[in-house]
Amino acid sequence: MKLPDISSYYNSIEYPNGPNSVVVQPQLKPEHVDDYELGVRFHAGSFGVEVNAYKENFRDTFISSTNLATNLTLYQNGGSSVYQGFEAQFTDEFEVAPVPGRLSAYLNLARNQARFTSSFNSDYAGAVLAGTPLAGVPENLVSAGAVWKFDGWRASAEGRFIGRQYLDQANSGTPSSATIGGHAVLGLAVSRALALDAPSTSRTLRLGLNVDNVLDRRYLNTGFSETNIVGSTYIRGIYAAPRTIAGSVAYTF
């Protein structure tokens, strides 16, 4: 169960005439969810695989709508919805001669679907039909990577793919037909742990270097569907961070 948060009250404060304010109390039911999950694990030596399926049935899904004349945002219940899909993970650890140390690798897959299961009316968007996809849920997620460890050194590489996802309307918390396309990102990291109490390892200094978005891909991290004055739709988006290089120092004791 999810109760309305404090923003549903703050966003209901309107100042139409100077200091006089009108507070519209949100008329909301709690959002309820029934969650069903089923999974299986298998391990053989260092190899492991996990497969999980889930289905989440929501009732009284929260949505929002903004009055363009007053800029007042109201929250309301938008009927029922369902989130469902499956996830799979494969892991293994091995040695590769003549490379010293050990290597481990992993592959994660996820297929997700989110849609409304009942029709309802939104104050701003109008009729929303059953079967309309919910926004902000990537249909496919894939991540794969490898980690190498040896004598205090750790190096890793990971690739992530985030699939297409639908966008909400800018002035209504209901999905539009606009989507953000899929994108792939590569990350690299290397670190060195130094024991400060030889032969004990109670105190350790770790130096690290991380590079995210190695290929400097330009993609939208999130966004909304807007309509201009002539009625044409466009996406108002927020770009993700470009190539980022960061160092770190950690001391444990």
Domain ranges of the chain: 7-252
**What is the predicted pLDDT for the residue at 23?**
59
User: pTM of the full predicted structure?
Assistant: 0.81
Peptide bond connecting 19 to the previous residue in cis, omega within 30 degrees of 0: no
Structural tokens at position 128: 């929303």
The Cα–Cα gap between 97 and 100 comes to 7
Give the confidence band of 173 by pLDDT, cuts at 50, 70, 90: confident
Give the confidence band of 22 by pLDDT, cuts at 50, 70, 90: low
- Residue 63 burial (10 A CB sphere; 0-12, 13-18, 19+): buried
Higher pLDDT residue, 207 or 201? 207
Is the separation of the CB atoms in 146 and 124 below 8 Å? no
Give the confidence band of 200 by pLDDT, cuts at 50, 70, 90: low
Higher pLDDT residue, 187 or 97? 187
**What is the predicted pLDDT for the residue at 11?**
60
**What is the predicted pLDDT for the residue at 231?**
80
Backbone conformation region of residue 113, classed left if phi is above 0, alpha if psi is from -120 to 50, else beta: beta
Interacting residues of 207 by C-beta distance below 8 A, sequence separation 6+: 191, 192, 194, 247, 248, 249
Fold of 7-252: Maltoporin; Chain A (2.40.170)
State yes or no: pLDDT of 228 exceeds 90: no
pLDDT digits (tens, 9 = 90+) for 42-86: 999 999 999 999 999 999 998 887 777 766 777 788 889 999 999
Phi, psi values for residue 96, rounded to 5°? -130, 105
The Cα–Cα gap between 184 and 80 comes to 32
State yes or no: pLDDT of 8 exceeds 80: no
Element (H, E) at 132: none
Neighbours of 224 (CB within 10 A): 18
- Look up residue 48 and give its amino acid: G
Is the separation of the CB atoms in 2 and 62 below 8 Å? yes
**What is the predicted pLDDT for the residue at 201?**
60
State yes or no: pLDDT of 199 exceeds 80: no
**What is the predicted pLDDT for the residue at 249?**
96
